[in-house]
C-alpha cells in the first residue's frame, strides 16, 4: 500500500504514506459535492484529501493512533467535512459521524501496511531496519509479533508461515525459529531476520525473511478475518448505487475480495444437489468492472511499492440488506 500525497498536501507536512492508484480511485469513487464517504483505512489521508477537494464529507477510520493524529492535523483545513475515528475498519458502522441507520455514497478500503509503518523502525514491521519485534497496527491487536514468535505452538507457527506467507520454505523456517527460541527468545526484528538469513542463505534480491515477516504481521493483526468482516460492514453501509473500492496487496486478500464481490453480484446461485438454481439472498452488488485494476507505468516508475496493488470495484444494488 503505498501516489502522490506530498504533492497534494494542504500543509507542509512530512511524507507519511503515499496512496496508491490515486487516479483510478478518483475515477471510480467519482466523489461529488455533499457525498458521504468512508475511508476505512485512513493512513496519511491522501485518498481522503482527493474526496474532500471535491466537497465530499469523509469519515476517516484507522486503527493506528499515529495515522489518526497525522491525518487530523493534515486535513484540518477541511473543517468538519473530515471526521476521523480511531477504530478497526471492521467497526466502520460505529463511526460517531454516522447517524443511526445512515447510509453512505462510497467506501474505500486500502489494505495492508502503510509506508510510515514500514519505515518506522520502532513499529517493528521491517526486517531492513532493526527495531522491537512488534508489528501491531493499533492498540486493538491482542498480541505482539514477539509474543507470537516466541509463544505460538510449532503447529500454529507453521500454519501461519505456510498459509499467510505462502513460503515454500515454511517448514524449514518454522524449525529454525523453534530451535533458536529455545536458546534465546526473539526480541528484535534484526535478530529474527538475520537468523533466517544465516540459516537459509541469500539468493537474489529478495530477503529470505520477507514472507515470514508478512505472515507474522498478518497473523498479529488478524488481517484476513478483519477484511471479511469489513466487506460485510461496507456493503451494509452503502446507499443504492454507492461504490465500494478495495485495494489489495496480497494474493490472499485479493482472493477474499474477489470471491466476496463475485458471490454478492450473482442474482442466482446453484449447487449440484439442488434440482434448479435458486435466487441468491445475498445479491447486493453489481460489478462495473469485473477484473482487478493495477497501477500504470507512470506510477510504477515513481512508487515501486504500488507494484502489487490491485483495485476492485463494486456498486450497491437496490435490494435491501439483510443481516444474518
Residue-level pLDDT at 18: 73
- Stretch 314-321: mean pLDDT: 93
Domains along the chain with CATH numbers: 5-116+223-316 (3.40.50.150), 142-220 (1.10.150.170)
How far apart, in Å, are the Cα atoms of 183 and each of 143, 187, 267? 22, 13, 57
Q: Which H/E stretch holds residue 223? A: helix 223-237
Task: Kindly state the percentage of the chain with pLDDT values over 90.
Answer: 78
Closest CA to 278 of 288, 268, 287: 268
Band (pLDDT 50/70/90 cuts) for residue 9 is very low
Question: What's phi and psi for 103, nearest 5 deg?
Answer: -110, 160
Identify whether the C-beta of residue 297 lies closer than 8 Å to the C-beta of residue 9: no
Write the pLDDT tens digit of every residue in 150-194: 999 999 999 999 999 999 999 999 999 999 999 999 999 999 999
Residue-level pLDDT at 16: 59
Contact partners, residue 239, CB within 8 Å, separation at least 6: 103, 104, 105, 316
Q: For residues 113 and 98, give the distance between their C-alpha atoms in angstroms, rounded to a whole number.
A: 26
Write the pLDDT tens digit of every residue in 265-279: 999 999 999 999 999
Closest CA to 303 of 245, 249, 246: 249
Band (pLDDT 50/70/90 cuts) for residue 15 is low
Band (pLDDT 50/70/90 cuts) for residue 204 is confident
Residue-level pLDDT at 322: 77
Write the pLDDT tens digit of every residue in 236-253: 999 999 999 999 999 999
Retrieve residue 137's grid coordinates: 497496527
The DSSP output letter for 11 is S
Identify whether the C-beta of residue 199 lies closer than 8 Å to the C-beta of residue 179: no
Identify whether the C-beta of residue 72 lies closer than 8 Å to the C-beta of residue 59: no
Give Dmax (Cα) for the chain. 64
Write the pLDDT tens digit of every residue in 73-124: 999 999 999 999 999 999 999 999 998 889 999 999 999 777 777 777 778 7
Identify whether the C-beta of residue 231 lies closer than 8 Å to the C-beta of residue 223: no
Amino acid at each position: 500500500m503505498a501516489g502522490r500525497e506530498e504533492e497534494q498536501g494542504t500543509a507542509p507536512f512530512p511524507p507519511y504514506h503515499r496512496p496508491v492508484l490515486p487516479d483510478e480511485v478518483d475515477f471510480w469513487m467519482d466523489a461529488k459535492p455533499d457525498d458521504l464517504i468512508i475511508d476505512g483505512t485512513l493512513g496519511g489521508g491522501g485518498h481522503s484529501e482527493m474526496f474532500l477537494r471535491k466537497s465530499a464529507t469523509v469519515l476517516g477510520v484507522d486503527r493506528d493512533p499515529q495515522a489518526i493524529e497525522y491525518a487530523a492535523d493534515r486535513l484540518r483545513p477541511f473543517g468538519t467535512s473530515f471526521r476521523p475515528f480511531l477504530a478497526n475498519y471492521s467497526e466502520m458502522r460505529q463511526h460517531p459521524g454516522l447517524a443511526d441507520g445512515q447510509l453512505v455514497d462510497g467506501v474505500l478500503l486500502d489494505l495492508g501496511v502503510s509506508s510510515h509503518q514500514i519505515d518506522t523502525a520502532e513499529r517493528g514491521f521491517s526486517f531492513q531496519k532493526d527495531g522491537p519485534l512488534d508489528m501491531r497496527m493499533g492498540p486493538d491487536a491482542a498480541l505482539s509479533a514477539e509474543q507470537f514468535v516466541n509463544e505460538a505452538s510449532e503447529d500454529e507457527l507453521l500454519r501461519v508461515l505456510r498459509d499467510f506467507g505462502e513460503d515454500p520454505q515454511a517448514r524449514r523456517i518454522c524449525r529454525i525459529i523453534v530451535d533458536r527460541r529455545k536458546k534465546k527468545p526473539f526480541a528484535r526484528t534484526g535478530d529474527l531476520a538475520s537468523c533466517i538469513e544465516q540459516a537459509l542463505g541469500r539468493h537474489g534480491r529478495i530477503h529470505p525473511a520477507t514472507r515470514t515477516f508478512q505472515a507474522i504481521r498478518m497473523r498479529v493483526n488478524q488481517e484476513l478475518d478483519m477484511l471479511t468482516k469489513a466487506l460485510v460492514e461496507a456493503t451494509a453501509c452503502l446507499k443504492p448505487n454507492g461504490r465500494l473500492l478495495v485495494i489489495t496487496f496480497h494474493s490472499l486478500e485479493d482472493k477474499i475480495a474477489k470471491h466476496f464481490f463475485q458471490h454478492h453480484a450473482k442474482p442466482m446461485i446453484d449447487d449440484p444437489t439442488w434440482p434448479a438454481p435458486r435466487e441468491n439472498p445475498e445479491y447486493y452488488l453489481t460489478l462495473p468492472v469485473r477484473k482487478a485494476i493495477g497501477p500504470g507505468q507512470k506510477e510504477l516508475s515513481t512508487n515501486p511499492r504500488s507494484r502489487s496493488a490491485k483495485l476492485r470495484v463494486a456498486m450497491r444494488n437496490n435490494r435491501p440488506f439483510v443481516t444474518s
